[in-house]
Amino acid sequence: MSQSVILVTGGTGLVGSAIRHIIETEPAGSRFGKKPGEEWVFVSSSEGDLRDPEQTKKLFKKYKPTHVIHLAALVGGLFKNMKYKLTFLRDNILINDNVLHTSHTTGVEKVISCLSTCVFPDKVAYPLDETKIHLGLPHESNFGYAHAKRMVDVQNHAYKDQFGDNYTSAIPTNVFGPYDNFDLEGSHVIPGLIHKCYLAKKNGTPFVVMGTGKPLRQFIYSYDLAKLFIWQLREYDDVEPVILSVGEDEEVSIKQVADAIVKAVDFQGEYTFDTTKADGQFRKPASNKKLLSLMGDFEFTPFDKALDETVKWFVANYDNART
Ligand code: NDP
């Protein structure tokens, strides 16, 4: 890329902050570091509410991006998704439509939007891969969010077919890392358990993990995901999405997650599983074959190391973290 302005929407969230960290800390000019002529801009909703077309246009007028990594979304846990289906559907449709359409009308050269493995059909043959997004209805619980995100793939194809636009999407599996939302109620499993274990240590109370601990999940460290987004921005020019994930053989159980948290927090107290609580789906593996075939080898950070770094970040930033 010669002179380019890369606008990262949702630039202050978990994934956006990780991209900023990598761009700022990898050696300049290296595969994932800042290249000469690049300007990176990371924006939050305080610079413009992307549900609003006028605010979106104003933001694009201000920064004049040539490239967009579109991460901004209304995201939330199971409870919020179930309760506010229309809000999840509508806000995300508006955000995505405004970002894609304003990118189109202002001549942005490339857009990568972020989907999620939640968009896949509820009833589907595993492992998930990039060809299966539209093969059936998503799970009822996140119906609004999933449909809005699926439409991005449909829009990308329509922009390409009608105008030849270079729009594509990324599908990360479960992300964790510094700058996550560590809220005890609405957060994802890893940040929620880190916060819970930290408080159990501080208050001398038991650390209780919901469910049996047996379900398996693929977790990607946000700093690894950031590198994959940067690769996709610079080296991948196709409308079809790419799953950005560790391999299926790198699934970890919730018990392994909790064990690693106990170790990283150095929690010495009572540690149990509340098996009366629901477990959720046992596993929903996603294939990263397409990613590796395109990118060649990529060294993912070992799970325990990534978790340890995340816990250290949380402890050091407890007063400012999203809790
Ligand atoms: P976060 O909740 O950490 O960050 C969300 C970002 O979006 C924030 O910067 C927020 O700004 C911004 N945002 C939200 N609403 C608006 C709005 N109306 N206008 C402008 N900006 C807005 O999310 P993550 O970093 O976790 O997620 C990033 C992307 O990755 C999302 O598209 C999500 O769907 C996807 N994803 C995430 C996964 C995960 O495990 N976390 C897994 C798979 C996909 P502000 O802080 O100002 O509100």
CATH code of 58's domain: 3.40.50.720
Place of tokens 């229309």: 86
Contact 184, 139 (CB under 8 A): no
Pocket test for ligand 1, best of 7, 9, 15, 120 (most atoms within 8 A of CB): 15
* 201 within domain boundaries: no
Per-residue pLDDT, 146: 96
Give me the half-sphere count of Cα atoms (radius 13 Å) on the Cβ side of residue 53. 6
Number of domains in the chain: 1
Place of tokens 């077919």: 161
181-188, long-range: CB < 8 A, 24+ apart: 181/14, 181/322, 182/314, 182/321, 182/322, 182/323, 183/322, 183/323, 184/323, 185/77, 185/79, 186/76, 186/77, 186/79, 186/80, 187/77, 188/77
What are the average pLDDT values for consecutive 10-residue runs of the chain, which has 323 residues?
90 98 96 96 98 98 98 87 93 98 98 96 96 95 94 98 98 97 86 96 95 94 98 97 96 96 95 88 92 94 96 94 86
Closest Cα to residue 232, out of 222, 219, 244? 244
Q: Strand, coil or helix: what is 74?
A: coil
Calculate how far, in angstroms, residue 9's C-alpha sits from the geometric centre of ligand 1. Answer: 8
Alpha-carbon span 320 to 323, nearest angstrom: 8
Q: How many CB atoms lie within 10 A of CB 152?
A: 27
* 191 within domain boundaries: no
Alpha-carbon span 86 to 33, nearest angstrom: 39
* 138 within domain boundaries: yes
Residue 18 Cβ contacting ligand 1 at under 6 Å: no
Per-residue pLDDT, 82: 85
Alpha-carbon span 176 to 18, nearest angstrom: 10
Q: Is the pTM of this model over 0.80?
A: yes
φ, ψ dihedrals at 300, nearest 5°? -75, 145
* 109 within domain boundaries: yes
* 226 within domain boundaries: yes
- Output the residue whose Cα is nearest ligand 1's atom 48: 45
* Active-site residue, from 145, 167, 179, 221: 145
* 187 within domain boundaries: no
Per-residue pLDDT, 141: 86
Pocket test for ligand 1, best of 42, 45, 189 (most atoms within 8 A of CB): 45
* 317 within domain boundaries: no
Whether omega for the bond prior to residue 127 falls within 30 degrees of 0, making it cis, is yes
Structural domain harbouring 8: 4-176+219-247+284-301
- The ipTM assigned to this model is 0.99
Residue 13 Cβ contacting ligand 1 at under 6 Å: yes
* 195 within domain boundaries: no
Per-residue pLDDT, 282: 85
- Output the residue whose Cα is nearest ligand 1's atom 29: 71
Per-residue pLDDT, 79: 75
Q: How many CB atoms lie within 10 A of CB 239?
A: 16
